[in-house]
Structure 1
Amino acid sequence: MSVYSFYIFDRHTECIYSKRFTQAPPPAATKSSSALSNGAVSASLRRANKDSDDAKLVFGTIFSLRRMCKQLGGADDQFLSYRTGEYKLHYFETPTQLRLVMLTSPQVGNMRTVLHQIWSTLFVEYVVKSPLAPTEHKGGKGVGNELFEGGLERFMEVVFRPQPQ
């Protein structure tokens, strides 16, 4: 069981935090500096664009599934998660419309309580209560808090630690 990625979206539908927990394969070949100066897009810029596109796709999926759940099941029904053969998407929305999304392996059970713990113990403590953190993340300016990132890393290690057999 493993976690693949984690996203936080604000009430304005902007991705304010994203983290990949799987290692990307190394690039096959590096380009020379002359190729980069000739207008070729650097690997880091391509990666940033791909991460942004991934976040948009994840939010679009959540938006559509939430709407479908409300239309088919009524206003009281909630979207919690869905599973494919490759991954499982877990969703948690706070009262302030902060949306936490986690992509894990399909075998992982319900992660709603884990997402609630991340929000209540890490995000609220290190981001919301921080006097240096902005209250609004205009234009997708993300959460840049080292304590939050470190706490999230340690929390994920504890939750997804391999169980002895």
Structure 2
Amino acid sequence: MKKEIKEKLKQILYYYKKTLSKIRIGKANTEMLDDITVEYYKNKVPLYHLSSIEVINSKTILIKPWENTNLSLIEKSIIKSNLGIIPINKGKFIKLVIPSLTEERRKEIIKRNNLKLEQAKISLRNIRKAYNKKIMKEFSEKDLMEKYKNDVQEATKEYISKIEKIFENKNKEILKI
């Protein structure tokens, strides 16, 4: 059971890391484009299926479509995505120049990160709650029940600590740039 709960907690940790990695913090990062889809023959297709995406330097991302006909579709999708970055169409590729963050924008991002942290903690606690209910149903021996509940509590604490560490590191990164 301990292995099972750790696997569920790892999934939340992974999702949390992935969510924070998509936040634009003034540095070029291809993961911030992961959720962008392009309308391609009446289907929503992920951007990375239609192009190569590479980081040129800390402020620039280059998007090279496999087919030049998709250039304008990709450009429109980036504008619609609400990334806050204006794509520069160079004819054969799209250049994204990541603007530096203002102090106001940094505070806004940190505030949003706080909400994401709380959501992740709630998810972890919900898993703890579900497993505690499962333990109560499956075990009648009080000692055994307490042992499993303690295991669940320890695992939950461990992952809350990991998530808080990721949160602190991300906020330091945001304030440092």
Q: TM (normalized to structure 2)?
A: 0.26
**Higher relative helix content:** 2
Bigger Rg, which one: 2
Compute the TM-score of the two structures, normalised by the length of structure 1: 0.27
